[in-house]
């Protein structure tokens, strides 16, 4: 089962990092600064807590949503301190850290479409997006009879990603039919043109496609009217009719980021600087599956974390 496999990988991963040296090459204890875009956001809070549990080094924190701190205060904190590594949570935190980090390594998480952001040779992180191959394999495992997936994407953000996903899908007998969108105003018309040629719609994270909540709502209504199942990336969407969501497991991302930080501080060579999330969280809307009369694999249900019935 995918869930069990991920857990085994994580156990090996965690045990490895327990063995890393607890000091930097110079003998001093490294210091880490955490910059959180908004620690009141539950997923941001969760990754920060998990990061701290794994990293026992001295850690200072900056919460960008702290109303008592001005931008000038934050800048002084960054300029006046010299952490050995900065851990950024969210895009806002990353952009500020990238501006002031200098030659210090930066580790990021909770950043959507990280490829569009500036990076240095010392930028590391965990992407918010799971690997396309993993997602397609799970879709195929649960719905073996749905072999044509439609995708809308902005060429600026996801053209290469969709091409790669299409190549991976072919290996397991799935066809990805993509349609580019240059503005979110085109989303609904592009969707209506796409749906007749596919068996399901794969809704990926793309700001060019999903400009606001109204467009998201209209996309789901359009698919529902044609009984076209929607697969997506966030479990919250299951409450609105999305049939299958495969998302990154948030606590695992925090631990994974801590592992990267420890590895960087130990001086180890890191070949994969930005890693895919190590764990998954799968939600299946079985109520909607039955409403659409879709065939699914009973054996695959054991790999699902949450069932909506």
For 53-73, what is each residue's pLDDT tens digit?
Answer: 999 899 999 898 876 666 677
Residues ≥6 apart with Cβ < 8 Å to 59: 31, 32, 33, 34, 52
DSSP state of 208: T
The beta strands (E) that lie in 9-118 are given as: 32-36, 59-63, 85-89, 106-109
Is pLDDT at 43 greater than 80 in this prediction?
Answer: yes
In the chain, what are the domains? Answer: 2-129+248-280 (3.40.50.2300), 132-247+281-308 (3.40.50.2300)
* Backbone torsions φ then ψ of 63, nearest 5 degrees: -105, 115
Has residue 179 got a pLDDT over 50?
A: yes
* β-sheet with 244-248: strand ranges across: 175-180, 148-153, 200-202, 230-232, 244-248, 280-285, 306-308
pLDDT at position 152 over 70: yes
Largest CA distance in the chain: 64
Task: Return all residues near 112 (Cβ < 8 A) that are at least 6 apart.
Answer: 91, 128, 129, 205, 207
- The residues, any chain, with a CB within 8 Å of residue 45's CB and separated by 6 or more, are 36, 39
Write down how long the chain is: 309
* Rounded Cα distance, 146 and 200, in Å: 7
CA angle 8, 114, 191 (to 5 degrees): 95
- pLDDT above 60 for 2: no
**Centroid of chain to Cα 153:** 17
Give this prediction's pTM.
0.75
Q: Which residue has the higher pLDDT, 213 or 290?
A: 290
Reply yes or no on whether the pLDDT at 16 is more than 50: no
Q: Which of 25-29, 48-52, 79-83, 247-251 has the lowest mean pLDDT?
A: 25-29
**What does the DSSP 8-state code read for residue 199?**
S
Report the distance separating Cα 296 and Cα 145, nearest Å.
8
15: which 2 tokens? 């045990």
* Per-residue pLDDT tens digits for 230-246: 999 877 788 888 999 99
Query: For all residues of the chain together, what is the average pLDDT?
Result: 86
Instruction: Place 27 in a pLDDT band, splitting at 50, 70 and 90.
Output: low
CA distance 209 to 253: 26
Question: For residue 98, what pLDDT is reported?
Answer: 87
SS3 88: strand
Q: Are the beta carbons of 87 and 107 closer than 8 angstroms?
A: yes
């Amino acid at each position: 089962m995918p869930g069990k496999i991920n857990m085994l990988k994580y156990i090996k991963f965690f045990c490895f990092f327990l063995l890393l040296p607890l000091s930097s090459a110079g003998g001093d204890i490294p210091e880490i600064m955490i910059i959180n875009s908004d620690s009141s956001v539950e997923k941001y809070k969760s990754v920060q807590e998990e990061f701290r549990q794994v990293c026992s080094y001295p850690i200072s924190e900056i919460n960008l949503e702290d109303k008592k701190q001005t931008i000038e205060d934050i800048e002084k904190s960054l300029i006046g301190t010299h952490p050995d590594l900065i851990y950024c949570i969210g895009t806002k935190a990353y952009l500020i850290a990238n501006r002031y980090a200098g030659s210090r390594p930066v580790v990021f998480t909770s950043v959507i479409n990280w490829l569009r952001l500036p990076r240095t040779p010392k930028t590391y992180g965990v992407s918010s997006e799971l690997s396309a191959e993993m997602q397609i394999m799970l879709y195929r495992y649960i719905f073996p009879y749905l072999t044509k997936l439609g995708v809308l994407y902005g060429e600026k953000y996801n053209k290469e990603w969709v091409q790669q996903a299409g190549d991976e899908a072919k290996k397991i007998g799935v066809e990805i039919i993509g349609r580019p969108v240059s503005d979110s105003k085109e989303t609904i018309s592009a969707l209506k043109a796409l749906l007749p040629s596919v068996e399901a719609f794969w809704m990926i994270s793309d700001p060019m496609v999903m400009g606001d909540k109204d467009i998201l709502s209209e996309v789901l209504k359009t698919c529902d009217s044609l009984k076209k199942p929607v697969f997506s990336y966030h479990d919250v969407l299951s409450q609105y009719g999305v049939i299958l969501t495969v998302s990154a497991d948030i606590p695992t991302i925090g631990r994974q980021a801590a592992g990267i930080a420890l590895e960087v501080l130990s001086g180890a060579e890191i070949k994969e600087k930005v890693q895919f999330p190590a764990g998954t969280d799968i939600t299946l809307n079985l109520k909607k599956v039955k409403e659409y009369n879709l065939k699914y694999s009973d054996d695959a249900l054991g790999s699902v974390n949450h069932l909506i019935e």
